[in-house]
């Protein structure tokens, strides 16, 4: 599946541009992180991918078809969107019912629902909590409930809006496992995140946005090497990457093992 | 050195809960210090914050044991309005903190002062100052419910700060903000701490905890499992057994040491880590 954004502009009634001519292509299964400050246009951008918002000008093409030609409901079968605030998404009285709701709407049979439920509940770590009321879940599990409800739809593309907000170590690791598994299944993950550690650990491609424009787009090592552009967008590289840069290592590193390798290689020169 | 908060063998179980949220906690917070509470989600951090400011036992019902003294006052025997002169809480979810009676941001900020009978002129002056500090001038006449999550968080912070408590309790109060916004708030907290305000903060950002805290306490399953300086607690791999990450700087130091590099100290902050790596490379 291929998503193309062409000269995408989104203007507010005031005339201010939330998106100011964005050109981007998402394809394949390589997970993409969209970073940038609040107000950079990240959420506005992803809300165009499934037709929640319509462009003021420019085009969103999915597999070559302009989404202007179809309704939101049709595209939501292809793209799943996980809200930043679980309370905006959850409204039923058990995790099971949240998980069943989407599939029921598209007329999926109970057998298929049960089959998916088992897999999804296991992946998001809620197997033992299917009969719990979502508002009795802790903040971490509540977030994973919203993720599970979207994964039940088996969409080709899954969009996460700030998935790490308020997560602890275990929550972030669970999230990392989900993103890796979606990649293995050949599905595309797009995530908006402020958490540079989370981004550099789980994503290979990074898109940097600032004031409605794409400033950088590429492999994470290239993006996080552009210190001055990052600074201009008020983004700080993750801690290990900063240490590597400041101590003069010759390449961007994101993990402890990569750092050790870089130190070893530097020692041999 | 004097303690401003004394917690003695404190336990709490919410009514109808199957297990205790806090178990036999004993610790003290030094006046003027920066005290951080870390732990996995569900370890009891927010419950403890509620207990420090008196929401437990005055608002949340349950069974408690032991005691908490704030500036010498037993929390259980002191009313919330009286406690709020000394200790203020900024909630994790700012929407839980709004009064839902104020029609504007200015009224929301003034709400606590109004309850304490502060004269109108002084109130207006303080609202102006706090609005400027929290970058809320442009939304001062808006309804708090029309603001973005980040703006509501600033309102929540401002409405606590305006009371000028000696102790600020911050429960992941920057979760709704982006890194720049969160650093801005954080700079304000740091400045207040430099001016002698005691700060008790819950945070998942271990690099920040290591940089700012005088003391770090680790909770696991409602129990206190470690307490000490950030250097002691956040350089110790056993801390990770309690669902708490170490700062990346400590993980790097430990890994370099395990590889046989001459690392004489497990660093928890950025600058010494950079110096150490430069030394190794030279």
Residue-level pLDDT, tens digit, chain A, 269 residues: 889 999 999 998 888 899 999 999 999 999 999 999 888 899 899 999 878 888 999 999 988 888 888 665 566 678 899 988 777 778 899 999 999 999 998 899 999 999 999 999 999 999 999 999 988 888 789 999 999 999 999 999 999 998 887 788 889 999 999 999 999 999 999 999 989 999 999 999 999 999 999 999 999 999 999 989 999 998 999 999 999 999 999 888 999 999 999 999 987 75
Is the distance from CB of A239 to CB of A198 less than 8 angstroms?
Answer: no
CA distance B55 to B93: 15
User: Least CB-CB distance to A266: which of B204, B240, B281?
Assistant: B281
CA distance B129 to A160: 38
Burial group, residue A105, by CB count within 10 angstroms (0-12, 13-18, 19+):
exposed
Q: Which residue of B has its CA nearest to A162?
A: B176
Would you state the pLDDT for residue B168?
A: 96
Residues of B in contact with A257 (CB under 8 A): 255
Would you state the pLDDT for residue A166?
A: 73
Cβ of A239 within 8 Å of Cβ of B149? The answer is no
CA distance B174 to B183: 9
Q: Do A148 and A252 sit in the same domain of this protein?
A: no
Cβ of A194 within 8 Å of Cβ of B178? The answer is yes
| pLDDT above 90 (res B99) | no
| pLDDT above 80 (res B238) | yes
Would you state the pLDDT for residue A72?
A: 59
Number of Cβ within 10 Å of residue B188's Cβ equals: 16
Domain range list for chain B: 1-86+171-177+199-229
CA distance B140 to B120: 17
Q: Do A153 and A258 sit in the same domain of this protein?
A: no
Residues of B in contact with A248 (CB under 8 A): 278, 281
Would you state the pLDDT for residue A76?
A: 63
- More confident call, B178 vs A262: A262
Which ipTM score applies to this complex?
Answer: 0.85
CA distance A210 to A20: 10
Cβ of A248 within 8 Å of Cβ of B245? The answer is no
Please report, rounded to a whole number, the percentage of residues in chain B having pLDDT higher than 70: 99
Return all residues near B57 (Cβ < 8 A) that are at least 6 apart: B12, B51, B64, B75, B76
CA distance B151 to B154: 5
Cβ of B179 within 8 Å of Cβ of A138? The answer is no
- Interface residues from chain B to A (CB-CB < 8 Å): 39-42, 92, 148-150, 172, 175-181, 204, 207, 240, 243-245, 247-249, 251-252, 255-256, 259, 261, 270, 273-274, 277-278, 280-281
- The answer, for A73 touching chain B at a CB cutoff of 8 Å, is no
Give the model's confidence band at B280: pLDDT under 50 very low, under 70 low, under 90 confident, else very high.
very high
CA distance B189 to A8: 40
CA distance B259 to chain A (A): 8
Residues of A in contact with B252 (CB under 8 A): 240, 243, 256, 259
Would you state the pLDDT for residue B45?
A: 95
Residues of B in contact with A246 (CB under 8 A): 270, 274
Residues of A in contact with B178 (CB under 8 A): 37-38, 194
Q: Can you give the residue range of the structural domain that contains A252?
A: 238-269
Residues of A in contact with B256 (CB under 8 A): 260, 263
Q: Do A184 and A263 sit in the same domain of this protein?
A: no
Would you state the pLDDT for residue A269?
A: 57
Q: What CATH number was assigned to the domain covering residues B1-86+171-177+199-229?
A: 3.40.50.300
| pLDDT above 60 (res B210) | yes
How many angstroms from the chain centroid is the CA of residue A85?
Answer: 14
Number of domains making up chain A: 2
User: Least CB-CB distance to A246: which of B40, B92, B274?
Assistant: B274
Cβ of B280 within 8 Å of Cβ of A263? The answer is yes
Q: Do A118 and A51 sit in the same domain of this protein?
A: yes
Q: Do A232 and A242 sit in the same domain of this protein?
A: no
Would you state the pLDDT for residue A219?
A: 96
Would you state the pLDDT for residue A57?
A: 95
Residues of B in contact with A239 (CB under 8 A): 207, 247-249, 270
Would you state the pLDDT for residue A266?
A: 87
Q: Do A261 and A231 sit in the same domain of this protein?
A: no
Q: Do A29 and A61 sit in the same domain of this protein?
A: yes
Q: Which residue of B has its CA nearest to A193?
A: B178
Task: Please state which of the ranges A21-35, B131-145, B255-269 shows the lowest mean pLDDT.
Answer: B131-145
The CA angle A123-A129-A135, to the nearest 5 degrees, is 110
**Tokens for B94?**
């700012």
Q: Do A156 and A253 sit in the same domain of this protein?
A: no
């Amino acid at each position: 599946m291929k998503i193309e954004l062409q000269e995408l502009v989104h203007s507010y009634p005031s005339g201010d541009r939330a998106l100011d001519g964005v050109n981007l292509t998402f394809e394949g299964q390589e997970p993409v992180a969209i970073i940038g400050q609040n107000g950079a246009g990240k959420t506005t951008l992803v809300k165009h991918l499934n037709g929640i918002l319509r462009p003021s000008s420019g085009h969103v093409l999915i597999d070559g078809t302009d989404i202007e030609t179809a309704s939101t409901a049709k595209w939501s079968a292809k793209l799943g969107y996980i809200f930043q605030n679980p309370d905006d998404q959850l409204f039923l009285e058990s995790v099971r019912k949240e998980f069943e709701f989407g599939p029921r709407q598209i007329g999926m049979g109970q057998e298929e629902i049960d089959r998916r439920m088992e897999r999804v509940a296991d992946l998001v770590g809620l197997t033992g909590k299917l009969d719990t009321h979502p508002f009795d879940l802790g903040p971490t599990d509540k977030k994973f409930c919203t993720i599970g409800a979207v994964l039940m739809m088996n969409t080709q593309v899954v969009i996460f809006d700030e998935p790490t907000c308020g997560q602890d170590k275990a929550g972030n690791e669970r999230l990392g496992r989900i993103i890796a598994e979606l990649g293995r299944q050949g599905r595309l993950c797009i995530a908006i995140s402020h958490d540079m550690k989370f981004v550099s650990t789980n994503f290979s491609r990074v898109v940097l946005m600032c004031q409605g424009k794409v400033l950088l787009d590429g492999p994470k090592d290239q993006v996080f090497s552009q210190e001055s552009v990052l600074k201009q967008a008020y983004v700080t590289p993750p801690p290990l990457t900063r240490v590597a840069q400041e101590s003069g290592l010759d390449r961007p590193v994101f993990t402890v093992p990569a750092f050790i390798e870089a130190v070893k290689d530097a020692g041999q020169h | 050195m004097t303690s401003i908060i004394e917690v003695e063998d404190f336990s709490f179980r919410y009514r109808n809960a199957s297990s205790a949220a806090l178990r036999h906690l004993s610790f003290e917070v030094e006046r003027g210090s920066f005290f951080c509470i870390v732990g996995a989600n569900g370890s009891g951090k927010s419950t403890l914050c509620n207990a420090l400011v008196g929401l437990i036992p005055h608002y949340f019902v349950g069974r408690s044991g032991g005691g908490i003294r704030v500036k010498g006052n037993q929390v259980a025997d002191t009313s919330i309005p009286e406690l709020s002169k000394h200790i203020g809480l900024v909630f994790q979810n700012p929407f839980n903190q709004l009064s839902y009676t104020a029609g504007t941001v200015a009224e929301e900020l003034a709400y606590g002062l109004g309850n304490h009978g502060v004269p109108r002129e002084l109130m207006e002056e303080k609202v102006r100052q706090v609005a400027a500090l929290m970058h809320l001038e442009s939304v001062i006449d808006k309804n708090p419910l029309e603001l973005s999550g980040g703006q509501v968080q600033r309102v929540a912070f401002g409405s606590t700060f305006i009371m000028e408590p000696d102790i600020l309790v911050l429960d992941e109060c920057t979760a709704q903000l982006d890194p720049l916004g969160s650093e801005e708030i954080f700079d304000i907290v740091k400045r207040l701490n430099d001016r002698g305000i005691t700060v008790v903060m819950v945070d998942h950002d271990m690099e920040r905890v290591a940089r700012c805290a005088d003391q770090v306490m680790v909770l696991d399953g409602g129990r206190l499992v470690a307490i000490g300086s950030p250097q002691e607690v956040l350089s110790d791999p056993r801390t990770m057994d309690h669902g708490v990450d170490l700062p990346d700087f400590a993980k790097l130091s430990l890994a370099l040491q395990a590889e046989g590099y001459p690392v004489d100290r497990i660093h928890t902050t950025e600058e010494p880590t950079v110096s150490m790596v430069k030394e190794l490379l030279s």
